[in-house]
């Protein structure tokens, strides 16, 4: 049975991470669109799959999994021999991978999410936007990106010299901010290494194709 991917009609965020892993690996899937505004993730049927009532969720022949990063790891391991190897092998390479994954989820994602909530989610629900929160968070993000500039001076990608799943994790929020709020934090002249890394990431054929399909 073809893998089912439950995603929002906006196609961004965690759904974009999972779609990118599937695209890089060339795995066929059926997208099932869920309307968040109509609370379709809060129905008893959906909550039986995802107790927190969110997307993305996959149904892999009856195996249900949620949380985009966990889904990415599962698919990367299941299809290790297809497409690029998105997970490292070897004790130290795995440790560096986990270090980079942790940096993304604890240092970057919360800050990105804060800006996404203010700049995109609140206006969509007609709520007042606190521009001070956006400005403060962008300053904090810039400081984190300065650290990334130093890291990416020594290595090509987030977890080393090979493209990996951690690079894909960064596609969760930054493209949404650039395309829908016009806030581009990743390509700045003062951070040439981050800019080089980001342009390489969003220039990957799999991502270009997904963007044409509406993911960002």
Residue 22 or 152: the one with the smaller Cβ distance to ligand GSH is 22
Spatial separation of the C-alpha atoms in residues 55 and 15, rounded to whole Å: 7
Binding-site string for ligand GSH from residue 17 to residue 46, where x marks contact by CB under 6 A and - marks none: -------------------x----x-----
Closer residue to ligand GSH, CB minimum distance, 53 or 83: 53
Judged by CB under 6 A, the stretch of 8-16, 130-138, 151-159, 194-202 that binds ligand GSH is 8-16
**Of all helices (H) and strands (E), which one includes residue 181?**
helix 174-181
Q: Shortest gap between Cβ of 113 and ligand GSH (angstroms)? A: 8
Q: Could you tell me the two tokens for 96?
A: 């560096």
Residues with Cβ < 8 Å from 169, sequence gap 6 or more?
A: 17, 69, 72, 101, 104, 105, 109, 158
Considering only residues 50-79, where is the footprint of ligand GSH by CB under 6 A?
Answer: 53-56, 67-69
**Which of 32/150 has CB closer to ligand GSH?**
32
Considering CB under 6 A, how many residues would be counted as binding ligand GSH? 12
Please give the Cα distance from 138 to 184 (Å, whole number).
10
Q: At what angle do helices 205-212 and 192-202 cross, to 10 degrees?
A: 60
Interface with ligand GSH (CB under 6 A), residue from 5, 6, 8, 134: 8
How crowded is residue 160: how many other Cβ atoms within 10 Å of its Cβ? 17
175 binds ligand GSH (CB under 6 A): no
Q: Which is nearer to ligand GSH, 6 or 198 (CB)?
A: 6
For residue 174, the tally of other CB atoms under 10 A from its CB is 23
**Which structure tokens are listed for 139?**
């300053």
Which positions touch ligand GSH (CB under 6 A)? 8, 13-14, 36, 41, 53-56, 67-69
């Amino acid at each position: 049975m073809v893998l089912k991917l439950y995603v929002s009609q906006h196609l961004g965020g965690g759904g974009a991470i999972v779609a990118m892993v599937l695209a890089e690996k060339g795995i066929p899937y059926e997208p099932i669109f869920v309307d968040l505004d109509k609370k379709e993730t809060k129905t008893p049927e959906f909550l039986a799959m995802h107790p927190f009532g969110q997307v993305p969720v996959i149904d892999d022949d009856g195996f249900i999994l949620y949380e985009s990063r966990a889904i990415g790891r599962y698919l990367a391991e299941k299809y290790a021999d297809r497409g690029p190897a998105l997970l490292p092998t070897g004790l130290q390479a795995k440790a560096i991978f986990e270090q980079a994954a942790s940096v993304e989820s604890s240092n970057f994602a919360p800050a990105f999410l804060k800006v996404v909530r203010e700049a995109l989610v609140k206006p969509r629900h007609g709520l007042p936007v606190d521009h001070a929160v956006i400005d403060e968070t962008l300053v904090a993000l810039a400081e984190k990106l300065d650290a990334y500039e130093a890291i990416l001076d020594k290595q090509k990608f987030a977890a080393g010299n090979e493209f990996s799943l951690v690079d894909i994790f960064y596609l969760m929020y930054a493209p949404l901010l650039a395309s829908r709020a016009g806030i581009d934090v990743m390509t700045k002249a003062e951070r040439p290494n981050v800019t080089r890394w980001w342009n390489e990431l969003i220039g990957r054929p799999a991502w270009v194709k997904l963007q044409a399909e509406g993911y960002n």
